[in-house]
Chain A
């Protein structure tokens, strides 16, 4: 997911000059790309010391914060875009953070591993939890504490009165628009709060 092609695809969804908040920004590579090539400004939020250091090294402004504590540091509608790239699946309060995402930002872009991708279904049908390139962990040591599907997210968005502006799958660096719930390892949603 951190591969450059995927990052470039996400970056294309961010309008030039946007003010961006990247929740769980990792080493800051995506924000760096957005700043250099799309004239964006903004901050990353990250909990891991090593990633905070990498962000500072590349000149990406980063706030060290545990997302489970919420986004009280950030004002309503203070960002054009809030990114949650491979972050949601690690959060205990994933639904609260989704609401927070559209509170502090006008538009949220969310990407996460789609558990309903067909190889995962096949593995489950065989009676075993999937271990794939996209989901490389065993069930007992996975950091992915929220395993959801493309369709699950649609339902969650609906429940929280979020408007889905765009939704597609990503598989092998290609967009999947037809049956993404079965055919894509990664789900991507662009959402906004319904007025």
Chain B
């Protein structure tokens, strides 16, 4: 069993200006910390989460032995990001449904549940909010900021928005922006949610219903894109749900579950629709779509990354087609153009995008080695 952790919440009175031009009057952030901040406050590591994760990065909650955080294999005592040496912070992003201010909460200015009216938030807005949390925790400079996928985008954005506050950035299975195909997947997921009759324009809370059908389909689509063809074939192949002793037998039904992959996807969809908020899904996929630091530089990523001061570790996975190695190489290319310190590991792993959450000795080994180097620098 992993170590025990407790989530905390911090409220902020000062309004947060957002990229959209709107501002969030008052808000709160839910976060967890692991390890101890050293005397000269030089060992803080911020971990940014991806689409459906949260501040619960590592450890377990008291009395819930199976409640491991989403990156528990990466972070903890003696783990690659060793909490015996680092003070690790996980923050739930604004608009999420796991504690920080989001569409399920009451808008303090109207007294009504935000629902679809929760302001559109961007990766940059999240980073601004995270920076305020660090201010409140008395942390000026991060030893490292790290994240995978959308979390990697936040880590990259940190180095551009607050270049002097980040010594290292670890960007895993990420991209400098989404491709058209990637936005397309997000749009299909959003349409599934928005066209669910229970969505009610995003104000379903008032109707006492949840657009679970839409969420299920959104999750099913997402799940397909997180796996590789090979892994899916290895795991499920053409295996039938109702195989008999005599072997395969079709039921000749168009609507029943026939194949194991169907059963698996439906199960994942069902599980997800029970705990995830529909408006949050829309908000977070939009934040993914909008992220594009090169946009303000005419699409020139090298120009965009000129602001970065940090040293980087970039990691990608060979079978990840949602955030393909080529996208990570674009980041590496831009960093090389700017003569920034960067190491790049391209892990030949079979698991697709999900690989960033899994145990692969080469992947975890490189991250461990990188953080050992940071620990030596950060030592008081």
Contact = CB atoms under 8 A, between A and B. Distances in A.
A10 interface: no
B336 A75 contact: yes
A62 B347 CA distance: 14
Contacts of A75: 336-337
Given A52-B345, A64-B345, A64-B346, A73 B370 contact: no
B297 to A, nearest CB: 17
B337 A53 contact: no
Interface of B: 311, 313, 329, 332-333, 336-337, 339, 341-348, 362, 365-366, 369-370, 372-373
Contacts of B337: 75, 78
B52 to A, nearest CB: 29
A62 B365 contact: no
Interface residues of A, number: 19
A63 B369 contact: no
Given A49-B362, A53-B362, A75-B337, A63 B370 contact: no
Given A57-B369, A59-B373, A61-B341, A43 B346 contact: no
Nearest to B370: A56
A32 B183 CA distance: 42
Given A49-B362, A53-B365, A56-B373, A61 B333 contact: no
Given A73-B332, A75-B336, A75-B337, A56 B362 contact: no
Pairs A-B, 10 closest by C-beta atoms = A56-B369, A57-B369, A63-B344, A64-B346, A49-B362, A61-B343, A73-B333, A64-B345, A62-B343, A59-B373
A79 B73 CA distance: 39
A2 to B, nearest CB: 20
A56 B343 contact: yes
Given A59-B373, A62-B344, A53 B366 contact: yes
A52 B344 CA distance: 9
Contacts of A49: 345, 347-348, 362
Given A53-B362, A56-B345, A59-B373, 13 more contacts: A19-B339, A43-B336, A49-B362, A53-B369, A55-B343, A56-B373, A57-B372, A61-B311, A61-B342, A72-B333, A73-B332, A74-B336, A78-B337
A106 to B, nearest CB: 15
Interface string A64-100: 1100000011110010000000000000000000000
Nearest to A66: B346
Contacts of A62: 343-344
A74 to B, nearest CB: 6
Contacts of A72: 333
A21 to B, nearest CB: 10
A63 B332 contact: yes
Given A52-B366, A57-B372, A73 B329 contact: yes
A78 B336 contact: yes
Contacts of B372: 57
A55 B342 CA distance: 12
A88 to B, nearest CB: 22
Given A56-B369, A73-B332, A75-B336, A63 B362 contact: no
A56 B342 contact: no
Interface in A19-71: 19, 43, 49, 52-53, 55-57, 59, 61-65
A74 B345 CA distance: 16
A62 B345 CA distance: 8
A63 B315 CA distance: 10
Nearest to A104: B336
A73 B369 CA distance: 24
5 contacts: A43-B336, A73-B332, A78-B336, A78-B337, A78-B339
Contacts of B365: 53
Contacts of A19: 339
Contacts of B332: 63, 73
A62 B342 CA distance: 7
A64 B344 contact: yes
